[in-house]
Amino acid sequence: MSGGALPRVLVVRLDSFGDVLVAGPAVRAVAAGASHVTMLCGPQGAPAAGLLPGIDQVRVWAAPWVTETARPIDDTLLGEFRALVTEVQPDEAVVLTSFHQSPLPVALLLRLAGVRRVSGASVDHPGSLLDVRLRPGEDLPEDVPEPERALRIAEAAGFRLPPGDDGRLGVRQDADLLPEIAALDRYVVVHPGASVPARSWPEDHHRALVAAYAERGTPVVVTGSPGEAALTASVAGDTGIDLGGRTSPAELAAVLAGAEVVVVGNTGPAHLAAAVGVPIVSLFSPVVPAVKWAPYAPLVELLGDQSAACRLSRARECPVPGHPCLSTVRVEDVLTAHERLLDRASRMAGRSLRGAPDGAA
């Protein structure tokens, strides 16, 4: 990189769909100060990277320390990583991690591949692996939302959001709404799936919610991945519109953006709903902290017992019989939260109009 030229930057986020989405503000900050941005993701996160503004190129690499992509550590893996970095030719790398992850494994590989400047947040002393290091619990607060954590790492590396960027989640919205959904005057989205059982509201609760909306005359669209098709069909029943396995990430973003309210657990589509600005009823299990992982949006109603015995356990299977943190949330609680969201949205819109210049409303 010649003096004064903007750098080519590799932004690394190696885990899931939602993890990549919450990195969006940090990516935009890097893009504002870079000549080229490559996002390096794991297989689960790459579809989300394709939705983020500011990325010139997405590369996929399965890290052996990410549980879902476990693989042997050998010369083949090292050669694969080195070849990827040689092709991308970054001047520097910004490694984004959650509070329970270390940037050091990938920082070591980046050093071996010849990357001259590496930034990240590490509890452990990084030696010569990081040029820019934030210390969680010291110069990086522990209890901040994940999008803010990622943005602070980018800022420490020297990248700031451009003027006018509010730092909220955001995605490109360029997919057409499915015709059967576009024909609806209004609808609610119910997304019953979650990445692990400990974060799931019970299936029968979801089914009862769809039926309750039908009784109120509110159309319900049920969304889910191809692997959740049986679940979405069961939840949709005879009254909901079942889109399980029928939407690309961009199409799902369009469906979520058109909803009156989205009802969703702590899973990737919750962050996608936040990114398109829709009101969210968040069915949130406290196995991970809501302060970090609740949808990062202004219109969110958080349901679920955040002081339950499973709190902060990071359990994949609920450790408490009966899954009380979420099973005690009633259909009526969701419907009431829905009404609160509509009221809040109305009041926010009123404040916005009152603050608009003459003629802007």
Give residue 66's pLDDT band: very low, low, confident or very high (50, 70, 90).
confident
Q: How far apart are CA 229 and CA 351, in angstroms?
A: 41
Q: What is the pLDDT of residue 350?
A: 79
pLDDT digits (tens, 9 = 90+) for 231-263: 999 999 999 999 999 999 999 999 999 999 999
| Whole-number percent of the chain with pLDDT over 90 | 87
Residue listed under structure tokens 């973003």: 253
Q: Which two tokens stand for residue 331?
A: 């259909």
Q: Which of 175, 92, 103 is nearest to 140 (CA)?
A: 103
Mean pLDDT of the chain: 94
pLDDT band with cut points at 50, 70 and 90 for residue 3: low
Q: Residue 278 pLDDT more than 90?
A: yes
Beta-bridged to residue 117, according to DSSP, are 92
Alpha carbons 99 and 248: distance in angstroms, whole number: 30
Q: How much is the pLDDT for 346?
A: 92
Please determine whether the domains at 8-156 and 179-353 fall in the same fold group of CATH.
Answer: yes
Annotation: CATH topology of 8-156 = Rossmann fold (3.40.50)
The pLDDT value recorded for residue 35 is 98
CA 177: distance to chain centroid? 21
**How far apart are alpha carbons 273 and 264 in whole angstroms?**
9
* Residue extents of the structural domains in the chain: 8-156, 179-353
pLDDT given at position 67: 66
Is the pLDDT score of 2 beyond 60?
no
**CATH of region 179-353, choose from 3.40.228.10, 3.40.50.2300, 3.40.50.1000, 3.40.50.2000:** 3.40.50.2000
Q: What value does the mean pLDDT take over residues 168-185?
A: 95
Q: How far is CA 127 from the centre of its chain?
A: 31
Instruction: Please report which confidence band the pLDDT of residue 359 belongs to, taking 50, 70 and 90 as the band edges.
Output: very low
The DSSP code sequence of 131-186 is: SEEE-BTTTB-SSS-HHHHHHHHHHHTT--PPTT----------SPPPHHHHT-S-
Amino acid 69: pLDDT = 62
| Nearest-angstrom CA–CA distance, 281 and 47 | 24
Is this prediction's pTM over 0.85? yes
Instruction: Find all residues with CB under 8 Å of 229, minimum gap 6, and list them.
Output: 244, 245
The stretches of the chain forming alpha helices (DSSP H) are: 17-21, 24-32, 46-49, 75-88, 104-112, 146-156, 179-182, 203-215, 229-236, 249-257, 268-275, 290-293, 324-327, 331-354
Pairing assessment for the beta strands 261-265 and 280-283 based on DSSP bridges: parallel
Q: How confident is the model at residue 361 (pLDDT cuts 50, 70, 90)?
A: very low
Q: What percent of the chain has pLDDT over 70?
A: 95
